[in-house]
Amino acid sequence: MLLAACAPATDGSIQRLDAALPRFQSEDPPAKSVDERAAAIRLLLGQARWKSAQAELERWWQSEAAGEAAFLLGWMHHKQGHFALALPWLERALAAGPTYPKARQVFFLFGRCLQESGHLKEARRAYEADGLLYPEGGDSPFRLALLDFEEGQLVSCEARLITALERFDTPREKAKVLAHLADLHLARDELGPARARLEECVKLYPHYEAFYKLSKVCARLGDEAAAQAALEQHRYWRERTQPSRGQ
Amino acid sequence: MRGLIGSVLCGTGLALAACSEAERFPMTDVTREAGLEMTLTSGRTPASQLLEVKGGSLALFDSDADGDLDVLVPNGATLESPTLGPGARYFENQGSMKFIDRTQSGALNLRAWCFGCAVADVDGDGFEDVFVTCWGTNVFLRSLGDGRFEHLGPDAGFEASHWSTAACWGDLDGDGDLDLYVANYVVFDPGSPPEPTRFRGADVFGGPVGLPAEPDEVYENLGAGEFREVSALWGFRDVPASYGLGVSIIDVDGDGVNEVIVGNDSQANFLFRRDPAGRFEDEGQSSGIGLDENGWGQATMGIAIGDVNGDRLPDVFSTNFMADPNTLHVNLGAGRFEDRSRRMGLALESMASLGWACAFLDLDLNGSEELLVFNGHVYARTTTESMGWQHSQQPLLHERVDQRFVRVNPACDAGWLRESHCDRGAAFGDLDGDGDLDILVAESNGPLRLLRNDARRGNWMIVQLIDDREGATNRGGLGARLVLDPEKGSRVEQTRWLVGGMSYQGASPARAHFGLGADSGSHAVEVLWPDGRRQLFADLAANQVHVLHREPAR
């Protein structure tokens, strides 16, 4: 298969993102699909019937190279964790412009797939574009903050996390940001504030990963009782939610 | 349809000629000129069973005490003939990076399905010996010093017959000689393999998850070439059996007592600490090294140890499965570790790689260690491609920029970083005597590659230890810590540990290598010997190999 012979589809991605963006900014995508096949395919995707959906989508793409078919193929691969397979489809969806419902989401989706494929610079540009299209959204500042953190840009990271915290609505989303604000404090060796953020986080949305971090911070602070309690909560919530890393 | 996808992807492939800067990490493949051409065997590609994807270790060591580094390739076998493979190979270094295959004359005759190797001069005779782990009975190859080996296995006390993966020598009971830790993997019969399973929508071979784990083994050195199994006696059986793939014996807190780090696949790692009564207790999870920052056990493959923050404490890097980042556990002291992979720039870059061999090493001799990881997938190429993953993968080379690691852009640097392989083991050492570190790397069912380092940028120093006091058997000082210029307060202090078990199941020479940058002057090295004794060696000239002797007992 040709995929193996070539490098991942990233070179030129930034230029293509930049080229595609103005059209997405100036034109509104349709509220509904103009193609009657879309509803049935979205139903298949909603039921995780990937093979059937893929067959239908590829038929659609072959018949008229519709941006919506490419977008849904990209979304489908992303949903299955096949990030590199999603990239060429999302590139096509970008090139098609805002011709399909929810088309502006393609930038964020593209960013996620680029990030998971290890293309961090390109992912950053995709998130930045998403931020322009959704200026009130929390997703892009949150994702950009994670890239900032990995690149050692802690000031920018903190500002973006605070923005995301303000913009996110759900307890789960807010808790996610609080956990990362705790990481930021840890990076600055601010153990007390890190603990406070994590306590706020698990109060808002009890998550086994945050409880684990909390247990480690409490242990470093010498509060063994709190560390043990958090570790027990970590085990309890992990057992209860039965998470899987898919390995 | 395929044609369309292909043309899109090829048209957007990485630009290889876009960078103008000179190569900073040049390596030249000199395998053929060196006489090291061979293809490793590990079942077949594509693999149909777990047994076929975990091998590929290498040993780089001085078996004949002539000062240069020889090569042992344990090699695997095939499912059709799992106990009678093409055989291990031994290459003797003739100097100037020329090797001669001495497998036959060396009486190696080792045709089991071999995995890891642990090297040390176990009997203190001046020649480095090798313990080879196998699917089946392990083998102890005692070097006779003339390029030949004596096979010891059950005779020496190594009777167990499991699927052993990694092994490491180290003084576990503080009596001065070298004991042995053997990491075991799963109970596995290739004649009755586990059912295939599903992974991200694809059919893949089963395991390790769901298979019974094989408990690890620990052997006490009784002297005179005899060993006894002490796994239960010393407390190592108080933990659940786990899928061991890596092991290193090192004093993690500098208190003169060795700990054992065990990397487990898909499970929490162990950190065994010895109590005053001589029993070991697992503190993996309480110390923080057992899990990642979110409390997950990872699929630990390779282990590298270095001091990334200049505090003279060993920090531990491990390689993992795809979609799971490689992990750097920074040693905080007092027995605690913290996962700082993201903070130090190592997590996101590794998400699309499946890592194996790894090492901290100063390739460009600038006084700051890079971090190198070799990668490659385990599933069949068609399977990985159906998931959008690469079967053959580029290595990851990270260089230090301030407090973080930054990946060296393969498009802007040396060609070897752009090459994709399905790598497993690697060993690192100065094979041509020019002071920089060369790399020997093994591809699964692929060729051995010798990469000669052509950096020639900075000054250097290599330090080898010898404890030649009467009765000393840990002659090479395995377990020692070396600090360069301890009184100088240098920008980033350089600390090295002479320990085994690093990279992936293999062995690199127990020699400390320091890059010195532009500094061609003399340096001091403080040695903390395995028994806790400190010794300062001053006025060591740059650009030399120094053999430092333990001071006589007083």
Which pLDDT belongs to residue A243?
A: 75
**b/e per residue B342-381 (b: at least 16 CB within 10 A):** bbbbbbbbbbbbbbbbbbbbbbbbbbebbbbbbbbbbbbb
Report the alpha-carbon distance of residue A202 to residue A208 in Å, rounded: 9
Position A156 in a domain: no
Cis preceding linkage at B46, omega within 30: yes
Which pLDDT belongs to residue A8?
A: 44
What order do you get walking across the sheet with B438-443 strand by strand? Answer: B27-29, B448-453, B438-443, B423-429
CATH number for the domain including A98? 1.25.40.10
pLDDT at B15 over 50: no
CA distance A177 to chain B (A): 14
Among the ranges given (A183-187, B87-91, B118-122, B155-159), the one the predictor scored with the smallest mean pLDDT? B155-159
Interchain proximity B388–A77, CB inside 8 Å? yes
Interchain proximity B10–A115, CB inside 8 Å? no
Q: Which residue has the higher pLDDT, A9 or B272?
A: B272
The domain tally of chain A equals 1
Which pLDDT belongs to residue B107?
A: 80
Which pLDDT belongs to residue B108?
A: 87
Position A206 in a domain: no
Scan residues 46-65 of A and list those with Cβ closer than 8 Å to B. Answer: 50, 58, 62
CB pairs under 8 A between A and B: 146
How would residue B491 be classed by pLDDT, with cut points 50, 70 and 90? low
Which of B326, B348, B390, B402 is the best mutation test for A, with the most CBs of A within 10 A? Answer: B348
How would residue B11 be classed by pLDDT, with cut points 50, 70 and 90? very low
pLDDT at B20 over 80: no
Per-residue pLDDT tens, chain A, 247 aa: give them. 222 323 345 678 899 999 999 999 999 999 999 899 999 999 999 999 999 999 999 999 999 999 999 999 999 999 999 999 999 999 999 999 999 999 999 999 999 999 999 999 999 999 999 999 999 999 999 999 999 999 999 999 999 999 999 999 999 999 999 999 999 999 999 999 999 999 999 999 999 999 999 999 999 999 999 999 999 999 999 999 877 654 4
Position A235 in a domain: no
Which pLDDT belongs to residue B5?
A: 33
> H/E element holding A131?
helix A120-133
The whole domain housing A125 covers: 15-27+40-134
Scan residues 178-207 of A and list those with Cβ closer than 8 Å to B. Answer: 183, 186-187
Interchain proximity B5–A80, CB inside 8 Å? no
3-class secondary structure per residue, B304-352: EEECCCCCCCCEEEECCCCCCCCEEEEEEECCEEEECCCCCCCCHHHCC
Residue B277 contacts A where some CB pair is shorter than 8 Å: no
pLDDT at B2 over 90: no
Which pLDDT belongs to residue B19?
A: 61
- Give the 3-state secondary structure of residue B418: coil
pLDDT at B8 over 60: no
Position A84 in a domain: yes
Which pLDDT belongs to residue B21?
A: 58
Which pLDDT belongs to residue B261?
A: 98
Interchain proximity B1–A58, CB inside 8 Å? yes
Mean pLDDT (whole number) for B35-55: 97
Nearest to B295 among A4, A150, A234 (CB): A234
Which pLDDT belongs to residue A51?
A: 95
Cα(first)–Cα(last) distance of chain A, in Å?
25
Judge residue A222's burial from the number of C-beta atoms within 10 Å of its C-beta, 0-12 exposed, 13-18 middle, 19 or more buried: exposed
**b/e per residue B164-203 (b: at least 16 CB within 10 A):** bbbbbbbbbbeebbbbbbbbbbbebebeebbeeeeebebe
Which of B197, B293, B294 is the best mutation test for A, with the most CBs of A within 10 A? Answer: B294
- Report the amino acid identity of residue B11: G
To the nearest 10°, the Cα dihedral for A49, A54, A59, A63? 120
To the nearest 10°, the Cα dihedral for B306, B402, B546, B533? -50
Residue A116 contacts B where some CB pair is shorter than 8 Å: yes
Nearest to B9 among A2, A213, A245 (CB): A2
| Beta partners for residue B484, in sequence order | B525
What order do you get walking across the sheet with B303-306 strand by strand? Answer: B303-306, B315-318, B327-333, B336-339
Backbone φ, ψ for residue A138 (5° rounding):
-100, -15
Position A67 in a domain: yes
Give residue-wise pLDDT tens across range B347-375: 999 999 999 999 999 999 999 999 999 99
Report the alpha-carbon distance of residue B498 to residue B518 in Å, rounded: 25
Mean pLDDT (whole number) for B382-400: 94
Scan residues 141-180 of A and list those with Cβ closer than 8 Å to B. Answer: 146-147, 149-152
Which pLDDT belongs to residue A119?
A: 94
Strands B523-528 and B534-540: antiparallel
Residue B19 contacts A where some CB pair is shorter than 8 Å: no
| Contacts A211 to B, Cβ<8 Å | 295
Interchain proximity B385–A7, CB inside 8 Å? no
Write down the mean pLDDT value for chain B: 93
Position A77 in a domain: yes
Cβ–Cβ < 8 Å for B481, B251: yes
pLDDT at B68 over 50: yes
Residue B12 contacts A where some CB pair is shorter than 8 Å: yes
Which pLDDT belongs to residue B201?
A: 85
How would residue B10 be classed by pLDDT, with cut points 50, 70 and 90? very low
**b/e per residue B223-250 (b: at least 16 CB within 10 A):** eebebebbbeebbbeebebbbbbbbbbb
Which of A63, A75, A82, A232 is the best mutation test for B, with the most CBs of B within 10 A? Answer: A82
Report the alpha-carbon distance of residue B422 to residue B428 in Å, rounded: 18
- Give the 3-state secondary structure of residue B410: helix
Residue A83 contacts B where some CB pair is shorter than 8 Å: yes
Tokens (6 digits) for A246: 């898919």
Report the alpha-carbon distance of residue B29 to residue B33 in Å, rounded: 9
Q: How many CB atoms lie within 10 A of CB B549?
A: 13
Backbone φ, ψ for residue B441 (5° rounding):
-135, 145
Position A180 in a domain: no
Position A60 in a domain: yes
Interchain proximity B200–A80, CB inside 8 Å? yes
How would residue B4 be classed by pLDDT, with cut points 50, 70 and 90? very low
Residue A222 contacts B where some CB pair is shorter than 8 Å: no
Most confident range, picked from A157-161, B143-147, B549-553: A157-161
Backbone φ, ψ for residue A108 (5° rounding):
-65, -40
Scan residues 181-200 of B and list those with Cβ closer than 8 Å to A. Answer: 199-200
Share of chain B above pLDDT 70, in %: 95
Report the alpha-carbon distance of residue A119 to residue A9 in Å, rounded: 10
Nearest to B342 among A118, A150, A208 (CB): A150
